[in-house]
Structure 1
Amino acid sequence: MHAPILEPALLYHALNLLAPFATDDGSGDGGFTGPSLSEFVPPGFLFVDTPFEINRIMMVRFIAVAVLILLFWLGTRRMRMIPGRGQSLLEMAVGFVQSNIADGALGKEEGKRFMPLLATMFFMVIAMNITGIVPGLNIAGTAVIGVPLVLAVVAYVVFIYAGIKKQGMNFFKASLFPAGVPWPLYLIVTPIEFVSTFILRPVTLALRLLMNMIAGHMLLVLCFSATQFFLFTAGGLFGLFSIGTLAFGFIFTIFELLVAVLQAYVFTFLTAVYIQLALVEEH
């Protein structure tokens, strides 16, 4: 079962198991209160009611970008022929993107051309995904539509740019009117190609990343808030349930780390694949 299906399903069953302890009225009378989508729209604390309002999720994004820049600066400020530990780790990470994504999807020549974009996208996504399991941050910077949408738009623009630069306006003709199709079938094929190529690709890129991060956050909040409830509120023998929920919390934390890396890889690799499709003469 794929992660986008597995995580919401696990969340649904877990919520059903804890439903007898939940309170629906929000009265704070000692009942269990599960996670809600309100966590993804936190109140602002800087520049409130202005276009530059800063809330908790925006601050998490700033922190992720700052840490990423700092790591690359520290790892590359003293480049050597015989690399040190930090330089070696960065070279391995960049080499992974180059060999497994850029060169793997686009070939060496085109892969080198688009490598800066793909590497930036990969490390940005992975940095913002990992904040979801960092104590004190506890939410992914990609768990709100803004960042996934911007990255999907960038991928979409580069896809269109690569196609036009390679084929000119014939790019749209080749995309919407595939060769070898009897012309009456274009009445069916062309609308399908338009929707799948120019609408669904950026939408699915953004939603795949967004929903994985939302589901992961909800699962972790559910496990750890249930642990707190059973341990400090329910009392008695119910306290034993905290052992299980805490264990699941740690298991899902490790799982979320894997998902964070996997989603960064999938997002970047699909971007490279879409660029490659724009570069071929017929698709």
Structure 2
Amino acid sequence: MLETGLVVAAYTPPTVEDMHLPPFFEIGSFAFGKQMLLVLISVLVVAAIFMVAARRRAMVPGRLQFAGEMGYGFIRNSLAKDLIGVHEFKPFVPVLFTCFYFILVNNLWGSIPFLQLPSFSHAGSAYFLAAFAYVFWVGVGIKRKGLGGFLKAMTMPSGVPWFFYIILIPIEFFSNLVVRPVTHALRLFATMFAGHLAIMVAASLTGFLIADLGGIGYGVSIFSGIFGIFLFFLELLIQVIQAYVFTLLFAVYLQGAVAEAH
């Protein structure tokens, strides 16, 4: 609280309610809001960009086709091929490709003026995506190794004396099959939520200093404004990194599901 003469100005930081706006409409327990709209738009954006990029399929690609091929090659080679292996990666390229660009676009909504809401700052979206990844790689592992073989691979690391399994099996089961999907989602949700809320605080504080304090507030607002710009570009970087990290972990889990035990 700052006091100037008889005028008292109190800064009220933005809350979660300010970040997550009320829904556009509700039908029973179902609510459709800005976040869900952005998720749907992201599907159209990703599909449209790569469909247009692949439309001509010229031997000498134009700029859009070249960018599309670069984007596809990045996921195919750097994530799928390098992590899953040259003999196993091909069936999983489409799901990893879709996962990365779907998350990337939904994260980048938070940095686009007037939209300014990363879709995965809602916990439900992040946990749903992590649940999909979890069911997918567990299903792949069971299909490849059978239920018993998959559980053995997840809970009984090779090269360990048998008596250690008494301790290791419950720890590995809890870590790989219970904690893993939770942390997979939480990492994405927490970074998107915290980063966007921090930008909102910096922006609202700058506005408060300029509009409500005047005088010294104008000078101090320069520092909060610069800090807000720094947070914006930091969040932009994190938005890209988190799309990569989520997809990378998905690829690592798939590699563990298809890898042969040694």
Match of 1:255 among 222, 227, 234: 234
Q: What are the Cα deviations for residues 7-45 of structure 1, in whole angstroms up to 9, with x where unaligned? A: xxxxxxxxxxxxx45xxxxxxx85322121223542111
| Equivalent residue, structure 2, for 1:175 | 154
Q: For 1:252 and 1:51, how far apart are their aligned partners in 2?
A: 36
Shift of 1:236: 1.2
Q: Which amino acid aligns with 2:257?
A: A
Shift of 1:78: 2.3
Q: What are the Cα deviations for residues 37-59 of structure 1, in whole angstroms up to 9, with x where unaligned? A: 2235421112x243442112222
Deviating more after overlay: 163-172 vs 220-229: 163-172
Shift of 1:123: 0.2
The 8 Å contact of residues 40 and 143 in structure 1, kept in 2 or not, is answered as no
2:84 is the counterpart of 1:106: yes
Query: Which structure 2 residues correspond to residues 71-90 of structure 1 after superposition, within 5 A?
Result: 71-90=49-68
For 1:53, what is the secondary structure of its paired residue?
Answer: strand
Shift of 1:279: 1.6
Q: For 1:178 and 1:273, how far apart are their aligned partners in 2?
A: 16
2:202 is the counterpart of 1:223: yes
Q: For 2:48 and 2:28, how far apart are their aligned partners in 1?
A: 29
The 8 Å contact of residues 130 and 260 in structure 1, kept in 2 or not, is answered as yes
| Equivalent residue, structure 1, for 2:176 | 197
| Equivalent residue, structure 2, for 1:25 | none
| Equivalent residue, structure 2, for 1:24 | none
Aligned Cα RMSD in Å? 1.8
Number of residue pairs matched by the alignment: 256
Shift of 1:180: 4.1
Q: For 1:229 and 1:247, how far apart are their aligned partners in 2?
A: 15
Unaligned runs of 5+ in 1: 1-19, 22-28
Q: 1:63 to 1:281 in 2, by over 3 A?
A: same
Q: Which amino acid aligns with 2:99?
A: M
Q: 1:225 to 1:163 in 2, by over 3 A?
A: same
Shift of 1:107: 1.6
Shift of 1:261: 0.8
Aligned-residue sequence identity (percent) comes to: 38
| Equivalent residue, structure 2, for 1:50 | 28
Match of 2:44 among 57, 66, 70: 66
TM-score (norm 1): 0.84
The 8 Å contact of residues 128 and 141 in structure 1, kept in 2 or not, is answered as yes
2:218 is the counterpart of 1:239: yes
Q: For 2:134 and 2:20, how far apart are their aligned partners in 1?
A: 27
For 2:85, what is the secondary structure of its paired residue?
Answer: helix
For 2:157, what is the secondary structure of its paired residue?
Answer: coil
Deviating more after overlay: 228-237 vs 179-188: 179-188
